[in-house]
Amino acid sequence: MERDERVFLMGEEVGHYQGAYKVSEGMLDKFGERRVIDTPIAEGGFTGVGIGAAMVGLRPIIEFMTWNFSAVAFDQILNNAAKVRQMSGGQFECPIVLRGPNASARQVGSQHSHAMEHFYAHVPGLKVVAPAFPADAKGLMKASIRDDNPVLVMESETLYGVKGGVPEGDHVVPLGKAQISRPGTDVTIAAYSRMTHVALEAAATLEKEGISVEVVDLRSLRPLDEDTLVASVERTHRLVIVHEGWPYGGVGAEIADRVQRLAFDALDAPIVRVTTLDVPMPYSAKLEQACLPQPERVVATVKRLLARARA
């Protein structure tokens, strides 16, 4: 916002309340009410306003209090933001960032626990990113704001308290570029957002048993970094995909399809997925944790995969 006066922030409680999760703390005082705009509880309305502003040259950042609430604005995102460039023959661009916490939190009920990324990654015209670490949260946000297309930034409410080094200055992480969070030789785990931390915890446990796990943090879901994924599978010859969405038609299914097409000869075992169970999220804390991918389930999956490959 300091770099480009066309950038503004709009959403519920982003201003005077400093953001529902204090992400925009201090920004109202710094940039004023013209550029930090509190809205009514009307996601369809303020998302539409943001899309219109983007079409006429501004670069809005629209905050959803949670991506679950973006369902109210789905028509605006699907039929306007994603399609306006193509349907106008390139006369309009839509450089808008839509951001907020995604997937489950802690006992917030089924209607507030959806992992929404696969809904939007399905749509041509949209870009979707999901950072796991503070440095990437900064770098991907900068890249998203500067992109001339609609970019959806899927954060995790459970990661807002995670601390880590963040480079000073103009730190930008390119969209569509994964990173190797942990090198390994026996199996690749592909994950993103909070599941990257789950994968790293599982990898640390498996290392104690002599199993070397490479963890690929995808960071970007659309565009997807196929090159990094394929290169990793060619080193390890096995792939486990961990994500917080449901299994049917999820991001993991897309990744599995691409890897088996691009690196079939490198695979020594079937690609397997660890996902949230195929049910609405329970409110009970114990049942909620049982539904979500846990390090123990990832460890067990990797062991089964290696046993099958070596049989």
43 is catalytic: yes
Is the pTM higher than 0.85? yes
Q: Does residue 182 sit in helix, strand or coil?
A: strand
**What DSSP state is assigned to residue 99?**
E
pLDDT score at 106: 87
118 is catalytic: no
Which position among 12, 43, 214, 288 bears the catalytic label? 43
> Per residue of the chain (311 residues), what is the pLDDT tens digit?
999 999 999 999 999 999 999 999 999 999 999 999 999 999 999 999 999 999 999 999 999 999 999 999 999 999 999 999 999 999 999 999 999 999 998 888 898 999 999 999 999 999 999 999 999 999 999 999 999 999 999 999 999 999 999 999 999 999 999 999 999 999 999 999 999 999 999 999 999 999 999 999 999 999 999 999 999 999 999 999 999 999 999 999 999 999 999 999 999 999 999 999 999 999 999 999 999 999 999 999 999 999 876 65
Quickly tell me which residue has 């995670």 as its tokens: 162
**DSSP for 92-123?**
-----EEEEEES--SS--GGG----HHHHHTS
Which position among 12, 63, 112, 118 bears the catalytic label? 112
164: exposed, middle or buried (Cβ count in 10 Å: 0-12, 13-18, 19+): exposed
